Amino acid sequence: MSEKTFPLTYDELKDVVKKYPTPFHIYDEKKIRATLRALNHAFRWAPKFRNQFAVKALPNPRIVQILHEEGAGTDCSSLAELVLSDVAGVKGEEILLTSNDTPADEFQKAIELGAIINLDDISHLDYLEENAGLPKCLCFRYNPGDLMEGNDIIGKPTEAKYGLTRGQLFEAYKMAQDKGVKRFGLHTMVASNERRTEAFLFTAKLMFGLAKELQERLGIHVEFLDLGGGFGIPYRPEEDPLDLEAIGEGIHKLYDEMMVPAGLGDVAIFTECGRLITGPSGWLVSTVIHEKKTYKDYIGLDSCMANLMRPAMYGAYHHITIAGKESQPCDHRYDITGSLCENNDKFAIDRMLPEIEIGDLLIIHDTGAHGSAMGFNYNGKLWCAELLLREDGSIELIRRAETLADHFATLTGFDGAMMGNK
């Protein structure tokens, strides 16, 4: 079971709302730090273990700075994420660029920052060399195909656009060797929101076998194995959280059995968890502004799927509580909706909740990853604020709410004042 709690009392939340109007995402610094420490502890046995925080999960430099203080690097997928990492104090080979149809300027920035580059396809090697040069340390992303299952979020490996086949993998490393690259890592990422311990052990066994084969066939002694992320969280209260210690010890046993006897006992282990680290430490807070009774009972919020896309995009479940009514019986059935001009703009369908009134503060749980990060401006909806609950109990604004002036700033031929912005 996973207890769904909120770190502020009802009165404390009302005080926050007076200063920072809803909707907003709020993150718990203490919980974020504790989660990363738990992951680090589970892999304390591993040489030079590091979690490369998946910046796409929560691309805010304040969050990345906090995680870097706890020893994390970053896994980046864009130019903006590379720059964000650098600004947050993550430097050099603490940064990993995971290539995915990557344009030249992103490769160039990664080279400039001294980042490790993780290539997604064998053809990208020549493109990288021609447009940016080769990095000091290079790795390739392996797609195991039918050997592993996927899910609705990341897709089946055989149908996913990511990674190299087994045959391509060895060819790519040989090509990189021939081009003069001396230092290598090995990467895979085939799971998303996975909560089965055995899935992570299978991935580790697969990667350890590949590392041994790279050494035997090409003489490549990889410096690190990035086992990817995909560590799931319990979105539903009835679900159990991952047993990180069991995962860590299971991988430790495989490492000792497979890597150490092969002379690979110095190979570092990386993960690239994002959702695990920040997901359960974030909440979207909204105000109830409408109730509509037609064929169903609809509760309308001042937020919409532009603030949290996952329920509409994946049919994902996010737990919902009503501030101040946590102990009341869930005896009313509602669809919880936003104002976007799309019928799938629903945070919950047929959800049993306490009776809701106009003005209630509604809390959507587990939005600390792929929440604000997946925001968009359809219908001219504006990005909401992000707040940080500091360890001392204070509230820090780490992203202000977007304004109309921001929204219209990139248009040409228009005066912002004409749009109602002074």
Label residue 422 by pLDDT band (50, 70, 90).
very low
H/E run at residue 334: strand 332-337
Question: How many whole angstroms separate alpha carbon 193 and alpha carbon 229?
Answer: 9
Asked if residue 45 lies in contact with residue 256, where contact means CB atoms within 8 angstroms, the answer is no
pLDDT of residue 28: 98
pTM for the structure as a whole? 0.94
- What's the whole-number mean pLDDT along residues 184-192? 93
| Confidence check: pLDDT of 14 > 90 | yes
Read off the pLDDT of residues 90-142 as tens digits, 9 standing for 90 and up: 999 999 999 889 999 999 999 999 999 999 999 999 999 999 999 999 999 99
Q: Which residue, chain included where needed, has tokens 């040069």?
A: 133
Same domain, 267 and 387: no
Label residue 1 by pLDDT band (50, 70, 90).
confident
Per the annotation, the verdict on 341 as an active-site residue is: yes
Read off the pLDDT of residues 143-173 as tens digits, 9 standing for 90 and up: 998 775 654 544 466 667 789 999 999 999 9
pLDDT of residue 154: 47
Which residue is catalytic, options 137, 273, 341, 384?
341
Read off the pLDDT of residues 346-392 as tens digits, 9 standing for 90 and up: 999 999 999 999 999 999 999 999 999 999 999 999 999 999 999 99
In order of 49, 57, 148, 203, 246, the CA distances from 250 in angstroms are 15, 26, 18, 11, 6
Question: How many whole angstroms separate alpha carbon 94 and alpha carbon 422?
Answer: 43
Same domain, 103 and 146: yes
CA-nearest of 121, 217, 219, 102 to 165 is 121
Same domain, 273 and 293: no
CATH number at residue 250: 3.20.20.10
- What's the whole-number mean pLDDT along residues 191-220? 96
Asked if residue 203 lies in contact with residue 258, where contact means CB atoms within 8 angstroms, the answer is no
Q: What distance lies between CA 226 and its chain's CA centroid?
A: 16
Read off the pLDDT of residues 45-68 as tens digits, 9 standing for 90 and up: 999 999 999 999 999 999 999 999
How many other C-beta atoms can be found within 10 angstroms of the C-beta atom of residue 170? 18
The pairs formed by 291-299 with CB atoms below 8 angstroms and a separation of 24 or more are 291/356, 291/358, 296/335, 296/350, 297/332, 297/333, 297/334, 297/335, 298/334, 298/335, 298/336, 298/337, 299/334, 299/335, 299/336, 299/337, 299/356, 299/362
Same domain, 204 and 315: no
Same domain, 323 and 176: no
pLDDT of residue 153: 45
pLDDT of residue 257: 98
pLDDT of residue 152: 52
Q: Where is the domain boundary, 212, 243, 278?
A: 278
Outline where 341-420 has alpha helix (H): 404-408
What is the domain range of residue 351? 280-408
Sequence-distant (≥ 6) Cβ neighbours of residue 282 within 8 angstroms: 25, 26, 27, 28, 58, 366, 367, 368, 369, 371
